[in-house]
Amino acid sequence: MIGKLRGIIDSYGEGAVVLDVHGVGYLVHCSARTLQALPAAGEAATLAIETWVREDQIRLYGFATDLEREWFRLLTQVQGVGAKVALAVLSSLKIAELANAIALGDKAQVARTPGVGPKLAQRLVTELKDKAPAYTSVDPAVVRLQGEISERRAPQPVADAVSALVHLGYGEIQASSAIAAAVRAAGEGAATETLIRQGLKELAR
């Protein structure tokens, strides 16, 4: 199995690059984001590789970083997600954006990827939500609160405070973040009105 290739960029094709390694040209399929990060033809490049062996073919998928390859592996573990869809997701969203969206249950963000409908976006969020927090930059308290709200497990004052901010025109993720900060400041036993006031202060910063 090939895990990494280092060579000279020979040429670019649609969704792929030919990497010359000591005279052997490897056709490597990549996300648009990875292709944009690679240098011009004739220059040296290194790609992390995922090798797929099928009965009738061997395909190489290349990634700018080991982390991008790890997310490709995670995405393709989800039912209905093949290599093409996984690369499309990685082309549309940065790793941090993808991890944050899944951790926060933001299926609308994931569904912005061409070829990913609402049902598949929901499946991605559901199946990967326990793995995403390890890669996210979002406050763990916000991730936990968002999960509690989506599963209707959040304390009523907290859920009501988030709902109030949403009705005021704030996005659910933005409202959840503000109320998570409000809970830290006012305490878990704070009343809804207190959380709303504190949440608005957080949003005004």
Q: Which residues are CB-contacts of 2 (< 8 A; sequence separation ≥ 6)?
A: 26, 49, 51, 60
pLDDT digits (tens, 9 = 90+) for 17-65: 999 999 999 999 999 999 999 999 999 999 999 999 887 889 999 999 9
Q: Are 37 and 8 members of one domain? A: yes
Q: Which of 109, 135, 161 is the C-terminal boundary of a domain?
A: 135
Is 129 found in the same domain as 72? Answer: yes
Instruction: Supply the pLDDT for residue 138.
Output: 58
Residues 200 and 167 in one domain: yes
Q: What is the pLDDT of residues 117-165, one digit of tens each?
A: 999 999 998 898 877 766 665 566 665 666 665 556 778 888 888 888 8
Res. 193: pLDDT tops 60: yes
Range of the domain at 82: 66-135
Q: Which residue has the tokens 């406050």?
A: 139
CA angle 177, 90, 25 (to 5 degrees): 155
Q: What are phi and psi of 69, to 5 degrees?
A: -65, -40
Average pLDDT, integer, range 80-94: 92
70 and 129 fall within a common domain: yes
Question: Do 125 and 150 meet the contact criterion of CB atoms below 8 Å apart?
Answer: no
Domain boundary residue among 16, 39, 63? 63
- In a shared domain, residues 115 and 145: no
Domain count, the chain: 3
Give the chain's end-to-end CA distance (angstroms, integer).
51
